[in-house]
Amino acid sequence: MTGVCMIAVDGTGVLVAATTDVCSVDASSSTRSTFKFKQDGAWSAKYLTVVSPTFEPNTKDAMGRFYFKPNFNSPVTLWTGSVFEYTFGTHAFGSEATCQVVKGTTSPGATFSDAVSLCVISSAKIQVTLAKAISSVDFFVVINRVGNWAGAGEVSGTVSSYAYAGL
């Protein structure tokens, strides 16, 4: 993608300093300067994935638990209100399934996490809404009362909305 560099000037025609940090142009010319974004071409990296997806069956009532750790390969902070949405192939979690978010770095712990304000299950989709800004994930999403695992296909994930700090 090619961008066009636009420079702001004040009422007297003087360049505004903050915009000169973004790109450089010849102030005496009316020619637009263009630039290439760092990602110039096809992109295939997956920035929202899951780590350690595990299904643990329960032989007493045929309902088990499924858990995973969200993972985003990004150097940026995700702000309060950001929503992760995961789809687990063709598996449907069912109406009896419940969602918990617990602290943990390598496996789910016994303490609830304060990083997530809402976890919603809808068939094969799980939506997780952040309660605070995070730059790394230190929690697991645990789905209780899951029937026999029947998932097929790739786990896909998106960040469906962003919120901004200070708003």
pLDDT for 6: 56
pLDDT for 42: 52
pLDDT for 146: 85
pLDDT for 26: 52
Q: Are residues 23 and 77 in the same domain?
A: no
Of 20, 2, 1, which Cα lies nearest the Cα of 10? 20
Q: Kindly report the number of other CB atoms within 10 A of residue 108's CB atom.
A: 21
64: CATH: 2.60.40
pLDDT for 39: 46
Q: Are residues 35 and 94 in the same domain?
A: no
Q: Are residues 100 and 157 in the same domain?
A: yes
Q: Are residues 143 and 83 in the same domain?
A: yes
Q: What's the predicted TM-score (pTM) here?
A: 0.67
Supply the DSSP symbol for 160.
E
Q: Are residues 8 and 77 in the same domain?
A: no
Assess if residue 55 is contained within a domain: yes
Query: Domain span at residue 19?
Result: 1-42
Assess if residue 122 is contained within a domain: yes
Q: Are residues 15 and 30 in the same domain?
A: yes
The segments of the chain whose pLDDT lies below 70 read 1-47, 61, 73-76, 151-153, 159-167
